[in-house]
Amino acid sequence: MLEKQHSLASNIIRSLAERPEQSVVQLRDSISAAGGKQYSLQGFYKELKKLQKEGVVFKVSGMYGLRLPWVLDSLALAQTLEKKYVERPQLPTILPDEHKREIWHFSDLLKMNDFWSHILLILIQQSEKKVLLGWNPHPWFHLVQTKQEKQYIKSLKLAKSKLYLIVGGNTFLDRWTQKFWDKDTVVYSFGKSPFEADRATYINVVDDYVLTVKVDPQIARRIDDMYARTKSMDDLDLHAVLSIFQQKTKAHVWLEKNPGKAKKIKGKFKKYWGVDFD
């Protein structure tokens, strides 16, 4: 909802990747149909000329396509990324040792959310059980960063992981999020839970790791109020949403490896779901 549009250049590349050889009019129409920002034909010609100069795009008889050398170079980069970040990830070096913790501070909720999902995927990568437990007072990130969250859920699915999620609300906006949750990946509930008391704290557990996200209590109350007021998308006050999620604030991400604490939280999830997570 609050996401920035892809640049025209990235939209052109995406469109040509899906459908090689298009005229400038076809490119404009396909990008417009996909919900992209509207650009003039002059804007398309200017961007295509730039991409040609950079060796990304070729033009033959009025039709545009991606240059094979650029495609092969991109594939090589993708293979390197797969090896470094997926097959043999190096990033778990930031994970704390047992009974140690790392704390990160943020003044921007959207940047914090990007980092949060990044850390969760690292935890899932190094896990054998691939089980993620979650408590969210409200899943607001699906509302304000829809594309990133779709990508996150897709990544969980690709990792063959399972998310057991307890949502702390049963409002229209809470349930609106259901459409983004793959049924084979996410098990969710909007029922009462033992985590209700603290509306400013979000909790995740993977194996012996506990990740705690704390937002400003005043922001948490405003999120609660927004969710309680909104009975349909027509009721959603965009100005209010922007004022919450684009303002400077204080938010913290805590990550610790604490088998005892993780076991205690897993016990609460076990009572709730009737599933043994140890």
User: What pLDDT does residue 140 have?
Assistant: 96
- Pairwise CA distance, residues 165 & 168, whole Å: 10
Please check the confidence at residue 72 and state whether its pLDDT lies above 90.
no
One-character DSSP codes across 203-266? EEEETTEEEEEEE-HHHHHHHHHHHHH-SSGGG--HHHHHHHHSS---EEEEEEE-HHHHHHHH
Looking at the fold, whether 175 and 268 belong to one and the same domain comes out as: yes
In-domain check, residue 206: yes
Indicate the number of domains in the chain: 2
Q: What is the pTM of this model?
A: 0.74
Neighbours of 22 (CB within 10 A): 20
CATH of the domain at 30: 1.10.10.10
CA distances from 51 to 15, 37, 57, 74, 254 (A): 14, 19, 6, 15, 43
Looking at the fold, whether 155 and 207 belong to one and the same domain comes out as: yes
User: What pLDDT does residue 92 have?
Assistant: 55
Looking at the fold, whether 118 and 47 belong to one and the same domain comes out as: no
Q: Are 91 and 82 in contact (CB under 8 A)?
A: no
Taking residues 215-219, report their average pLDDT.
Answer: 97
User: What pLDDT does residue 90 have?
Assistant: 52
Last residue of a domain, which of 37, 56, 87? Answer: 87
Taking residues 186-210, report their average pLDDT.
Answer: 96
In-domain check, residue 119: yes
Report the range out of 56-60, 223-227, 237-241 with the highest average pLDDT: 223-227
Please check the confidence at residue 197 and state whether its pLDDT lies above 70.
yes
Looking at the fold, whether 124 and 170 belong to one and the same domain comes out as: yes
In-domain check, residue 156: yes
CA distances from 8 to 4, 33, 150, 196, 229 (A): 12, 14, 21, 44, 37
Looking at the fold, whether 59 and 187 belong to one and the same domain comes out as: no
Q: Give which of 256, 254, 238 is closest to 2, Cα–Cα.
A: 238
Please check the confidence at residue 160 and state whether its pLDDT lies above 70.
yes
Q: Give which of 143, 88, 145, 93 is closest to 116, Cα–Cα.
A: 145
Collapsing DSSP to helix, strand or coil, 107 comes out as coil
Q: How many residues does the chain have?
A: 278
Looking at the fold, whether 142 and 243 belong to one and the same domain comes out as: yes
Looking at the fold, whether 40 and 148 belong to one and the same domain comes out as: no
179 vs 2, which has greater pLDDT? 179
Last residue of a domain, which of 46, 65, 87? Answer: 87
Looking at the fold, whether 154 and 67 belong to one and the same domain comes out as: no
User: What pLDDT does residue 148 have?
Assistant: 87
Taking residues 126-151, report their average pLDDT.
Answer: 93
In-domain check, residue 278: no
- Pairwise CA distance, residues 252 & 116, whole Å: 10
Which stretch of DSSP H or E encloses residue 9?
helix 8-18
- Pairwise CA distance, residues 255 & 265, whole Å: 14
Last residue of a domain, which of 62, 87, 112? Answer: 87
Looking at the fold, whether 68 and 194 belong to one and the same domain comes out as: no
In-domain check, residue 260: yes
In-domain check, residue 1: no
Please check the confidence at residue 79 and state whether its pLDDT lies above 70.
yes
CATH of the domain at 157: 3.30.870.10
Residue 66 belongs to what domain range? 8-87
Looking at the fold, whether 105 and 66 belong to one and the same domain comes out as: no
In-domain check, residue 38: yes
Q: Which residue is it, tokens 């027509």?
A: 234
Report the range out of 14-18, 78-82, 151-155, 223-227 with the highest average pLDDT: 223-227
Mean of the per-residue pLDDT values for the chain?
Answer: 90
Looking at the fold, whether 208 and 235 belong to one and the same domain comes out as: yes
Taking residues 37-63, report their average pLDDT.
Answer: 89
Taking residues 7-21, report their average pLDDT.
Answer: 90
Give the range among 12-16, 31-35, 191-195 with minimum mean pLDDT.
31-35
Q: Are 221 and 240 in contact (CB under 8 A)?
A: no
User: What pLDDT does residue 86 have?
Assistant: 59
User: What pLDDT does residue 200 have?
Assistant: 97
- Pairwise CA distance, residues 151 & 206, whole Å: 20
Please check the confidence at residue 122 and state whether its pLDDT lies above 90.
no
User: What pLDDT does residue 4 have?
Assistant: 47
Looking at the fold, whether 220 and 129 belong to one and the same domain comes out as: yes
In this prediction, residue 58 has a pLDDT band, given cuts at 50, 70 and 90, of confident
